[in-house]
Amino acid sequence: MEIIRDINSVDKYPVAATIGSFDGVHCGHKAMIEETRRRAAALGLPVTLVTFSMHPRMLFDCDPQPFLLSNGEMRLQRLADTGVERCVVLDFDRNMAAMTAREFMGKVLVERLGVKLLVLGYDHRFGRPEPGVDADAYVAIGRELGIEVVRASRYNVGGDKVSSSQIRRALTAGDVQCAAKLLGYNYSISGVVVHGAALGRELGFPTANIEIDEPMQLLPANGVYEVMASVNGARFRGVINVGVKPTISGCGRRTVELFIIDFSGDIYGCNVEVAFLRRLREERRFASLDELKAQIVKDVASVASNMNK
């Protein structure tokens, strides 16, 4: 997939497009992109994805809490996996945010990108909010500008509406399996292994402390999870603790600590990607380190037994 970050360098020709933040590139996004591909093929048009350098929410929320479902690299890779030919990453700033829908469609989609067909998510909105500008208005504006605007069908999985908000709710509840169903893949984070207190090694379970690449990416609810870890091109099953380590720490800062099963080696400074498979239990305070160690033994045994199924 060709990725274009400078809109002034776009080679303009007639295209079909769909637009969005595509946070997480979930099942609904992929269905909309596929619908765009089908409609574009019927018109003999190539497809361009239009997205943003940062989520619009980042611009307007003065104190945003982590909410993203992927970092930038993951998002673009998942978009590339859809098979679309080109992706334009717009530099979203206050000037662009101030554009009306008509201005954005005319100055960006028509003049810069050559859009002839625009497929929108069933509930997608863009442009500075204006009275009377709703879903029907996009169609009317498009007609005036020479763009056919259509709404993609709403996508459901097992009767559940697929949306980024729904996935965030599942992750906040620790339900990584529900999140995976809506995403179409296991929710993942990535980050660099950094030095920690090395207490895990003392307990017999050396852990990799992960500093995630994107601080604004949402972590699942505090707890212990079975994961698949990718390290230096190899994949290993593991157990990860997300939380504040109440038995051994009183700082209240959330950390991510990974124990990789059947692995040894120095991976400090290495990038690790972790996919969440299932939640084993809530994080809780134990009466002693011995009690904590006994529970870790059970957690690892649970994952090991699952590996052999």
- Residue range 2-160 forms a domain whose CATH class is alpha beta
Q: Give the residue-averaged pLDDT of 27-39.
A: 95
- In this predicted structure, the answer to whether residue 31 has a pLDDT above a threshold of 80 is yes
Q: Give the residue-averaged pLDDT of 193-209.
A: 76
Per residue in 133-157, pLDDT (tens digit) is: 777 889 999 999 999 999 988 788 8
Looking at residue 220, what DSSP letter applies?
P
Higher pLDDT, 124 or 176: 176
Higher pLDDT, 159 or 71: 71
Higher pLDDT, 267 or 171: 171
Give Cβ neighbours of residue 81 (< 8 Å, ≥ 6 apart): none
Looking at residue 8, what DSSP letter applies?
G
Q: Give the residue-averaged pLDDT of 5-25.
A: 94
- In this predicted structure, the answer to whether residue 219 has a pLDDT above a threshold of 70 is yes
For 186-307, the fitting CATH number among 3.90.1300.10, 2.40.30.30, 3.30.450.20, 2.40.160.40 is 2.40.30.30
Model confidence band, residue 251 (pLDDT cutoffs 50, 70, 90): low
Amino acid 232: pLDDT: 87
Amino acid 108: pLDDT: 95
Q: Distance (Å, rounded) from C-alpha 279 to C-alpha 255?
A: 16
- In this predicted structure, the answer to whether residue 199 has a pLDDT above a threshold of 80 is no
Per residue in 282-308, pLDDT (tens digit) is: 998 888 888 888 999 999 999 988 776
Residue 43, token pair as written in the block: 């018109």
Q: Which residue ranges does the chain devote to CATH 3.40.50.620?
A: 2-160
Per residue in 253-269, pLDDT (tens digit) is: 889 999 999 888 889 99
Residue 42, token pair as written in the block: 């019927």
The closest of 197, 227, 239, 224 to 286, measured between CA atoms, is: 224
Model confidence band, residue 203 (pLDDT cutoffs 50, 70, 90): low
Q: Which residue ranges does the chain devote to CATH 2.40.30.30?
A: 186-307
Q: How far, rounded to the nearest angstrom, does the alpha carbon of residue 3 sit from its chain's CA centroid?
A: 18
Q: Specify the 3-state DSSP secondary structure of 178.
A: helix
Amino acid 306: pLDDT: 78
